[in-house]
Amino acid sequence: MTAKPEKQDIEDEVILEVSEKKNSASGDSCCPTGDVALDGLLSRVEDVLSRLEDRVGTNAPVSDREDVQDFHDKLVELPQQIEVLGQSILRELDHRLESLETMMTEVGQEMKTHLAEHNEIGEPAAPQAETVDEQGDQQWERCLLGDELCQNPELADVRRKLLDDVLSGVAEARALVGQVMLVQSVSAEQMPELMRSVGEAYYRWQPRTILGDEPLELVLASWLTERAQMLGLGNKIELVRTGTRFDASRHLASERGVEITAVHGWVVVRNTGKVYTRASVSVK
């Protein structure tokens, strides 16, 4: 004799089937796979309905069959209800997209109107790069370069050029001034490496391609040596000149050659005379 199907058992099985499909679909929130998840759910519901149809037989009491049939009829409506829900969600998304497009169009029109009014009034004059007055703001210069470099009359012209470049936004000039500012508060342990950095920053701003020495080049080398002595160090700086022979023990080049054609740094030596850092150069 076939066992009588219990309504509660059937409901629990259906709920379990639908719950399992819902949990497996919830892990993927990407829109492209939404239809696949829905199709899968409908397929599983159809399987459950098919098994319910098999169970609704003449062996069960009439009252149980009627209850199961009623539950079966409600499940039959489930796919249609899901489809209606999906269409409602899509309509809501379309409505929100249309609202967003309308808002963006309005914003774009407002920007065009604002720009048109701005052009009618006239573009504001581009700010002119400030120049250091001949008198100069000496307080400001001393903060950047220190008293020793500001009080040297031989550097008046090159100092003006350097500060004008700083105000104009020349990155190499600002980098050099930044290194000079660091020297004024550096520790003894950091000083030898900073001596190298100042030289490389200077030559990035003013590459050496001529035979003669530049005033700021000479003063910076002398000033750094004096600052090192104040910190109890014996490091010194040796300038490198174009046209001299390349020396691998004192010079550093990325290409092969025998004659220095451009200087990108200077040699920093220890108090023993041995090289601490080599000068970066170009050769031919």
Domains of the chain: which residue ranges?
7-97, 138-283
Tokens of 215: 């005033």
The residue written with tokens 């910076």 in the block is: 220
Reference 226, options 139, 140, 158, 146; nearest CA is 146
3-class secondary-structure state, position 170? coil
Question: ∠ CA(198), CA(202), CA(205), 5° rounding?
Answer: 145
What pLDDT, on the 0 to 100 scale, is given for residue 139? 76
Instruction: Identify whether the C-beta of residue 93 lies closer than 8 Å to the C-beta of residue 80.
Output: no
- DSSP E strand stretches across 191-238: 236-238
pLDDT, averaged across the chain: 75
Q: Which residues of the chain have pLDDT under 50?
A: 1-2, 4, 7, 18, 21-33, 58, 62, 129-130, 132, 134, 136
What digits encode the pLDDT tens for the residues 25-73?
444 444 444 555 556 566 666 666 666 666 555 455 545 556 666 666 7
What pLDDT, on the 0 to 100 scale, is given for residue 145? 86
